[in-house]
Amino acid sequence: MAFSKIVPALALALAATHGIAQDLPAGPIRMLVGFAPGGGNDVIARLISTQFQLNTKTTVVVENKPGGGSTIATAEMTRGKPDGSVLLLGSVGGQAIAPSIYSKLPYDPVKGVQPVSLVAKSANALVVNNDLPVKTVQELVAYAKANPGKLNVTSPGNGTISHLSAELFKSMAGVSITHIPYRGDAPAMQDVMAGQAQMTFASLPSAKAGADSGKVRILAVTSTKRVETMPNVPTIAESGVPGYEVVSWYGVFTTGGTPMPTVNRLAQEIAAVIAQPAIRDSIAKQGMEPSALGPVEFTQLVNHDTQKWAKVVKTVGIKLD
């Protein structure tokens, strides 16, 4: 190629790069987390923000704003300037379930919130105490029908994805099981391990740790496909409850009204972060599958899950204030 053609081409490339760079916020970016440090949301937020900062040379500050099932952090994000300078590491519970279980939110969950990118997703696992005389989902359903109301299922709290996983299971399997809410994942699993309760829907790392202890067994996973790290564990859908599916996810959101060029640029940078092997390995160690979806596809996922869980919440009659 002649030098006279190379220069204009290079100039166009530089101009394009400069134009894209203008779509990122000029100042520091805040990454809000609706839970205390050390939890899944916090770990994922810090992984993503650290690499994002390295890739873009843009300062990212993670701020924990726990409370209200992530509604406090979400509310603060919606009050931010709509320029992408305030982000939220959200989850299915805080973004797709909260609008149904809270009678009133301090923000508009549709107009005030702009999905940017999915980050990771994961199945959960149906776990039972080893003393329960069942080894498959079919046997569990049969036992529950023969002993209505005698089984207890624990969860980290009312309205959590674990709680709603149980309610969906009860509804689809046609069984009566008593829900017992706890204050967190650890105590919910501990009582199943101790035999104080019989079952729970746990995260994969928690389920695996419990199974390794020899005190609980994993009957199935909640996704429609088997999990690569547990190929011998069937899905609930293939184990007698066809159509059952629950997928937990984490994703990045920003203030509603943020210009789409900025949203798209943020999504591109997040996708670049997730594509890096070290980040993918770190997410996988959390028992999750790294997965990037752009703003359009991620919005569709959020809307789908919001409608899905609204039906479950209405059926069960869960309300939190």
The reply to whether 27-122+248-316 and 124-239 are identical in fold is: yes
Residue ranges of the alpha helices (H) in the chain? 3-21, 40-56, 71-78, 92, 98-101, 137-146, 161-173, 185-194, 204-212, 260-274, 277-285, 295-316
Decide if pLDDT at 1 tops 80: no
Distances (CA, A) of 67 to 83, 107, 154: 25, 15, 21
DSSP string, 106-135: SS-TTTSEEEEEEEEEE-EEEEEETTSS-S
Q: Which amino acid is at 220?
A: A
**Would you state the pLDDT for residue 15?**
38
- Mind listing the pLDDT tens digit for each residue in 230-275? 899 999 999 999 999 999 999 999 999 999 999 999 999 999 999 9
- Mind listing the pLDDT tens digit for each residue in 31-61? 999 888 877 888 899 999 999 999 999 999 9
**Would you state the pLDDT for residue 190?**
92
Dist. CA 118–CA 276, nearest whole Å:
15
Crossing angle (nearest 10°) for helices 295-316 and 161-173: 60
- Every domain of the chain and the residues it spans: 27-122+248-316, 124-239
Decide if pLDDT at 291 tops 50: yes
Dist. CA 306–CA 4, nearest whole Å:
55
CATH no. for 27-122+248-316:
3.40.190.150
Q: Are strands 29-33 and 60-64 parallel, antiparallel or unpaired?
A: parallel
- Mind listing the pLDDT tens digit for each residue in 152-178? 999 988 888 899 999 999 999 999 999
Calculate mean pLDDT across residues 298-305.
96
- Residue 138, token pair as written in the block: 């079919």
| pLDDT interval class at 85 (50, 70, 90) | very high
| pLDDT interval class at 312 (50, 70, 90) | confident
Strand partners of residue 160: none
Mean pLDDT estimate for the chain: 89
pTM for the predicted model, two decimal places: 0.82
Q: Among the listed ranges 14-28, 186-200, 294-308, which one has the minimum average pLDDT value?
A: 14-28
Decide if pLDDT at 2 tops 80: no
Decide if pLDDT at 202 tops 50: yes
Quickly name the fold that domain 124-239 has.
D-Maltodextrin-Binding Protein; domain 2 (3.40.190)
| pLDDT interval class at 286 (50, 70, 90) | confident
Continuous segment of H or E residues that includes residue 64: strand 60-64
**Would you state the pLDDT for residue 157?**
83
**Would you state the pLDDT for residue 9?**
41
| pLDDT interval class at 199 (50, 70, 90) | very high
